Amino acid sequence: MKNWFRIGLTKTTIAGTLLLIALAVVLHGDTPPDPIGQRFHYETSFDHTGYLSDTPHWGSQVPQHKSYPDARRVSLKLEEEDGPSTPGGTLAGLLNARKSVRSYADRPVSFEQLSRLLLSANGATRVAGGSARRTAPSAGALYPIDVYVVAKDVTDLSPGLYYFNVADSALLQIQARDVSATLSAAAPSQPWVGPAPATLILASRFDRVTTKYADRGYRYAYIECGAICQNIYLQATALGLGTVAVGAFNDVALNDLLEADGVREAGLLIMPIGVQR
C-alpha cells in the first residue's frame, strides 16, 4: 500500500511539473525569457507614443550634492592652473570651456574637422595584445560602440549616412541621400537635430560585449558611449565647434535609419555638430 502511494505521488509530481512547463510554453512561447539587459534597454526606449514600457516609475527629486556636516573639509589646490597641452589648448582649458551648444552658424563643417572629431571620438591609437586600441576605454577591448555620421553640409563630402570604419579610418557611405529630415523626425521638438551640418550617432552592437560579459555588457556599453561622448565634446571645443548630447529620441525611428534591429544593435546618442555662433 505504501509503495503504491509513493509511486502515485511521484507520478502526480511529474505530471504537475509537466503541466507547469506546458503552461509556461503556452504563456511565453517556446523560447526562454529575454535577458534582463535586453528588457531594460527595450523598456527604457521610446517610440512615437512615449515609453515602450507601460510601467515607468519616477523617484523624488534629490539635491545635486550630498551633505556630510561633520566631515573634515580639505580644499583642492593646483600648483599650475593649466594641465597638459593639446593641439587645441590645454586639457584644463578645454574642460572648462566644454558646454552644450544647441545653435550653430550657417556655415559648413569642414571634412578635416569631421575627420579630427571621428579620430578623437573613437579612433585607433596603437596596437596592443594583437588588437587596435582606441581613444576611449572599452571593457575587454571589445569596442561595442560604433559611430555613424549624418552629413548635411560638410565640405568635400556628399550628403548621406556614413559608417565610421575604425579599422582603416575611413567613412563608408551606406545611404547616398540627405537623411537629415529623417533624423529630425526621430528627435521631435529639438530643432538642433537635423539642420546641423553634421551629426554623429553613437550606436551599440551589444552582442560584441555580451558574448563575454552577458547582461553586464550593457553597463559596459553605456559607459563606453559616455567616454566617447566626452571625447567628442572636447575635440569639438578645441576646433571651435559646438555639440550637444541628445538622449531624447524615438528609438524605433533612429534604429530604422541605421538599419539596426534594436536588440543586437541600437542607437544610444545623437550629437549634432556645427560651428559655434
CA atoms within 13 A on the CB side of 12: 6
Q: Is a pLDDT exceeding 60 seen at residue 274? A: yes
Q: Which of 60-69, 77-86, 139-148, 164-173 has the lowest mean pLDDT?
A: 77-86
Q: Are 260 and 266 in contact (CB under 8 A)?
A: yes
What is the distance between the alpha carbons of residues 133 and 142, in angstroms, rounded to a whole number? 10
Residue 25 and residue 94 share a domain: no
Average confidence score pLDDT of the chain: 86
**CATH number, domain containing residue 186:** 3.40.109.10
Domain shared by 8 and 98, yes or no:
no
Say if residue 230's pLDDT is above 90.
Answer: yes
Q: Specify the range with the lowest mean pLDDT, choosing from 64-78, 166-180, 205-219, 226-240.
A: 64-78
Cell digits for 218?
Answer: 550593457
Mean pLDDT across 54-75 = 84
Nearest-angstrom CA–CA distance, 59 and 52: 19
Given a cut of 60, whether residue 7 has pLDDT beyond it is no
Task: Answer yes or no: do 92 and 198 share one domain.
Answer: yes
* Total number of domains constituting the chain: 2
Note whether 7 and 91 are same-domain residues. no
Residue 33 confidence class, pLDDT cut points 50, 70, 90: low
Q: For 107-136, give one letter per residue: b (16+ CB within 10 A) or e.
A: ebbbeebbbbbbbbbbbbeeeeeeeeebbb
pLDDT band at 22 (very low <50, low <70, confident <90, very high): very low
Q: Which amino acid is located at 242 in the chain?
A: G
Note the pTM of the prediction, 2 decimals: 0.82
The arithmetic mean of pLDDT across residues 100-104, rounded, is 94
Give SS3 for 57.
coil
Q: Is residue 263 part of a domain?
A: yes
Are the CB atoms for 251 and 266 separated by under 8 Å? yes
The type of residue at 235 is Q
Looking at the structure, tell me whether residues 137 and 28 fall in a common domain.
Answer: no
Least confident of 28-42, 191-205, 218-232: 28-42
What single letter denotes the amino acid at residue 140? Answer: G
Q: 249 pLDDT exceeds 50?
A: yes
Residues 246 and 178 in one domain: yes
| Within-domain flag for 19 | yes
Range name among 124-138, 148-162, 168-182, 243-257 with the lowest pLDDT average = 124-138
Residue 215 in domain: yes
Structural domain span for residue 152: 85-275
List strand residue ranges (DSSP E) for the chain, in order: 46-47, 50-51, 85-86, 89-90, 124-128, 131-134, 145-151, 160-165, 170-175, 198-205, 241-243, 265-275
Percent with pLDDT over 90 in the chain: 66
State whether 169 and 248 are in the same domain. yes
Query: Is residue 13 domain-shared with residue 116, that is, in the same domain?
Result: no
Q: Which residues pair with 128 in a beta bridge?
A: 131
